[in-house]
């Protein structure tokens, strides 16, 4: 197969676009497309200060690389979760992220959960009722909370994440299967800022996962290949597999599933409910972040529960 632009040997064929490209043209195409998505969706402008959430995985590192190649002022935020899982997941992803930042002379903020909260994610999860099997619930809510807090406290204009089309389509699939209209209404490539909540954007929302992986490979970006051990068996992965089955039979199925959702949303298929949630927001009595739950936000409430439980455990002298 030949590159559509120069006729050299292609390294990737993007069937949904009927487009094959050689290495050089692909490495050009990704930033150009990204710039178009940023502009068309009014994500941010060159004057904005951008914070990218970096996990050490391919998508977030590639995003950081592409945005800095495009000339944006973009700093990284790495959140230390303290997950070992037998393969030293957190330690390794931190090493990779720090190395990337150093090599590219980019600024990286490290936020270690254990340093701030006294416990790492797996230990904290073992102390919650919901988290005994899988720490993803406390992990996810902590990451969302911390990303927002760090962005607000350091005056960033926008927080960006490396979510790709496969991530977005999988979430959409889950939300649609259960008709979670509230979530559907808030799902999209850009979330505007509201009081206490930073603007969020996903500049890679139209790239297939294999495209960001190919970019990492071709640019020689080292990323953490082995998943967080807790992702194993996650629903999102199951949905991705199902969507890839559709894609194999009908090229572009994933992309059109997501893009037609965005179009449907514009015509106001999902209305009103979000406004109610919005009206109910008030500041958390402990941290001040907006929340719809009474008194404490979910983050503060969950971590309070963890600390209380830990104290009981320590008092009783039971090994935790």
Partner 1 sequence: MTARIQLRDKEFKVRSGMTIRSALLQLNIQPEAVLPTRDGELLTDDEILQERDEIRLIAVISGGAY
Residue number, 101 or 284, with CB nearest to Zn ion: 284
Q: Mask: binding to ligand SF4, 4-43, rule CB under 6 A, as x and -? A: ----------------------------------------
Q: Mask: binding to partner 1, 26-65, rule CB under 8 A, as x and -? A: ---------------------------x-x-xxxx-----
Residue number, 93 or 185, with CB nearest to ligand SF4: 93
Q: What is the DSSP string of the chain?
A: -B-TTT-SBPSEEEGGGTEEE-HHHHHHHHHHHHHHHHHHTT---TTSEEEEE--SSHHHHHHHHHHHHTT-EEEEEEEE----TTTTHHHHHHHHHHHHHHHTT--EEEEEHHHHHSS-HHHHHHTSSGGGS-THHHHHHHHHHHHHHHHHHTT-SEEE----HHHHHHHHHHHHHTT-HHHHHH-SSEE--BTTB-EEE-TTTTS-HHHHHHHHHHHT-----SPPGGGTT-HHHHHHHHHHHHHHHSTTHHHHHHHHHHHHHHTTSS-SHHHHHHHH-EE-TTT--EESSSSS-HHHHHHHHHHHHHHHHHHHT---
Closest approach, Cβ 13 to partner 1, in A, equals: 4
Q: Is 1 in the site for Zn ion (CB under 5 A)?
A: no
Q: Is 3 in the site for Zn ion (CB under 5 A)?
A: yes
Residue in 109, 152, 180, 231 binding ligand SF4, rule: CB under 6 A: 231
| Chain positions contacting partner 1, by CB under 8 A | 1, 10-13, 20, 23, 53, 55, 57-60, 140, 143, 161-163, 166-167, 170-171, 208-210, 212-214, 217-218, 225, 227-228, 231-232, 234, 236-237, 240-241, 244-245, 247-248
Binding residues (CB under 6 A) for ligand SF4: these are 83, 135-136, 139-140, 228, 230-231
């Amino acid at each position: 197969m030949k590159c559509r632009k120069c006729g050299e040997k292609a390294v990737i064929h993007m069937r949904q676009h009927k487009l094959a490209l050689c290495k050089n043209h692909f490495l050009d195409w990704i930033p150009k497309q990204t710039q178009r998505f940023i502009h068309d969706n009014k994500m941010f402008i060159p004057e904005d200060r951008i914070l990218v959430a970096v996990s050490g995985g391919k998508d977030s590192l590639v995003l950081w690389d592409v945005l800095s190649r495009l000339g944006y002022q973009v700093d990284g935020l790495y959140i230390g979760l303290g997950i070992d899982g037998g393969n030293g997941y957190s330690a390794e992803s931190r090493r990779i992220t720090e190395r990337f930042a150093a090599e590219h002379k980019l600024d990286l903020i490290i936020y270690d959960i254990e340093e701030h909260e006294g416990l790492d994610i797996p230990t904290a999860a073992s102390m919650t009722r919901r988290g005994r099997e899988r720490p993803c619930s406390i992990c996810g809510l902590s990451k969302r909370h911390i990303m927002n807090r760090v962005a607000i406290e350091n005056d960033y204009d926008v927080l960006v994440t490396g979510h790709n089309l496969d991530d977005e389509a999988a979430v959409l699939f889950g939300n649609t299967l259960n008709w979670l209209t509230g979530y559907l209404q808030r799902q999209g490539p850009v979330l505007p800022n509201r009081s206490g909540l930073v603007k969020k954007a996903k500049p890679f929302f139209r790239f297939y996962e294999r495209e960001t992986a190919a970019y990492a490979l071709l640019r020689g970006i080292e990323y953490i290949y082995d998943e967080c051990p807790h992702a194993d068996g996650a629903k999102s992965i199951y949905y991705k597999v199902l969507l890839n089955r559709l894609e194999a039979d009908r090229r572009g199925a994933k992309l059109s599933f997501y893009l037609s959702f965005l179009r449907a949303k514009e015509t106001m298929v999902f209305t009103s409910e979000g406004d109610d949630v919005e009206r109910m927001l008030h500041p958390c009595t402990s941290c001040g972040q907006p929340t719809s739950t009474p008194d404490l936000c979910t983050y503060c409430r969950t971590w309070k529960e963890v600390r209380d439980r830990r104290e009981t455990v320590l008092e009783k002298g039971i090994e935790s």
